[in-house]
Amino acid sequence: MLHTLPEGAKRDTEALARSYSRIRKFQNDRGELLLQWAAPQPGETVLDLGCGTGDHLVELCNRVGTSGRVIGADPDGMRTQVAKHLAEEHGAAVVFVEAPATELDEIEAAQVDLVFSNHVLHWVLDLPRMLSEQARLLKPGGRFVFECMGKPIEEVDAMMRLMPRFEDLRQELSFMEDYQWRTEIEAAGLVVEVLEWTTLDLSFPDLDAGLAWFSASSQGAFVPEQLTKPERKRLEMRFPDVVTLPIVCLRAVLRKPIA
Ligand SMILES: C[S@@+](CC[C@H](N)C(=O)[O-])C[C@H]1O[C@@H](n2cnc3c(N)ncnc32)[C@H](O)[C@@H]1O
C-alpha cells in the first residue's frame, strides 16, 4: 500500500540515518526515562511509534519477553533499515511496519497494550488522525505513552532562522497547545492520565555538533555544508562556544477506557 510519506522520509540518506543513531544522546536519555514511565510488562504487545533507527526496540523486546510482541513502525525506510540490522544483531524478534503514524492499517485493531513514542509526534502533521489511529490499535485498558517537542521558544527559533530551509522545515512540524491536545485526545476516545510540559536544555559542545544533530534529527532538512559564509558567520557570532537550547517537551500517558 502507498503511504503519505513525510518530507523527511523522502529526503533521508543512509549516512544521515546512521549518524542519527550515533548522536541521538538527547533522544536516548529521554527515551530511557519514557521507558520507565511506560513500564512494558512481560507478555505485552508494544508498538514503538516512529521507532527510527530502533534504539529502544531491543530493550522493549527484553521487557516483554518471549511471550510478548514488539512492533516497530516508521515511514522512513532508511531508518527502519538501520533498526532491522540492530534488531537482527541482538536477536530481537521485531515486526516492522514501514508506515506513518496515521496509516497503520497493517496492524489489526485492539491488538496493542502499549503504544510507546519517543520524540516523534512533532513530525506528525495530522495529530487528530494520529490519535484516533492509536485508539484503534489499543486494546481496551491499553496505554499510549509519549514524549514529543512543543512549539520552539524564541531562542531555538532564533537559531533555526539562521539556517537555510528554516521555512521549509516549519511546514513539516506540527504543534498543538495544551487545550488542543486535550480536546483531540477526548475526541479520539482516549483519557488523559498525565499531560505534562517541561523545558529541558539541549546542549552541544560546539556549533558543529549542534548543526550535525539538527541535520540528522530532521532527516537532512539542514545541510551544514550548504551554509554560506555569511550564514555560518552569523551562527558563529550567536553561538561562539557551547550551544544550549531550551526545548519544550510534552510528556503524556493516555488510556483507552475499558468500556
Ligand atoms: C527524532 S526521530 C526519533 C526516533 C526514535 N523514536 C528515537 O527515540 O530515537 C523522529 C522519527 O519520527 C519519524 N517520523 C516522522 N514523521 C512521522 C510520521 N508521520 N509518523 C511516524 N513517524 C514519523 C521519523 O522517520 C524519525 O524516525
Q: What is the 3-class SS of the chain, one letter each residue?
A: CCCCCCHHHHHCCHHHHHHHHHHCHHHHHHHHHHHHHHCCCCCCEEEEECCCCCCCHHHHHHHHCCCCEEEEECCCHHHHHHHHHHHHHCCCCEEEECCCCCCCCCCCCCCEEEEEEECCHHHCCCHHHHHHHHHHHEEEEEEEEEEEECCCCHHHHHHHHCCCCHHHHHHHCCCCCHHHHHHHHHHCCCEEEEEEEEEEEEEECCHHHHHHHHHHHCCCCCCHHHCCHHHHHHHHHHCCCCEEEEEEEEEEEEECCCC
> Which pTM value belongs to this model?
0.96
* Residue 69, pLDDT score: 98
Q: Which pLDDT band holds residue 87 (cuts at 50, 70, 90)?
A: very high
Q: What's the pLDDT tens digit per position in 204-216?
A: 999 999 999 989 9
Distance 91 CA to ligand 1 centre (A): 23
Distance 16 CA to ligand 1 centre (A): 13
Q: What's the pLDDT tens digit per position in 150-196?
A: 988 877 777 777 777 777 788 899 999 999 999 999 999 999 999 99
Atom of ligand 1 nearest to the CA of 50: 22
* Residue 144, pLDDT score: 99
* Residue 56, pLDDT score: 98
Domains and CATH numbers, the chain: 7-150+174-201+248-255 (3.40.50.150)
* Residue 169, pLDDT score: 84
* Residue 29, pLDDT score: 96
Q: What's the pLDDT tens digit per position in 124-137?
A: 999 999 999 999 99
Which whole number is the average pLDDT over 90-118? 98
* Residue 158, pLDDT score: 75
Please tell me if the CB atom of residue 103 comes closer than 6 angstroms to any atom of ligand 1: no
Distance 32 CA to ligand 1 centre (A): 16
Please tell me if the CB atom of residue 82 comes closer than 6 angstroms to any atom of ligand 1: no
Q: What's the pLDDT tens digit per position in 28-78?
A: 999 999 999 999 999 999 999 999 999 999 999 999 999 999 999 999 999
Please tell me if the CB atom of residue 9 comes closer than 6 angstroms to any atom of ligand 1: yes
* Residue 1, pLDDT score: 67
Distance 237 CA to ligand 1 centre (A): 32
* Residue 42, pLDDT score: 98
Check pLDDT > 90 for residue 227: no
Q: Which pLDDT band holds residue 139 (cuts at 50, 70, 90)?
A: very high
Tell the residue nearest (CA) to atom 26 of ligand 1.
Answer: 52
220 or 80, greater pLDDT? 80
* Residue 143, pLDDT score: 98
Percent of the chain exceeding pLDDT 70 equals 99
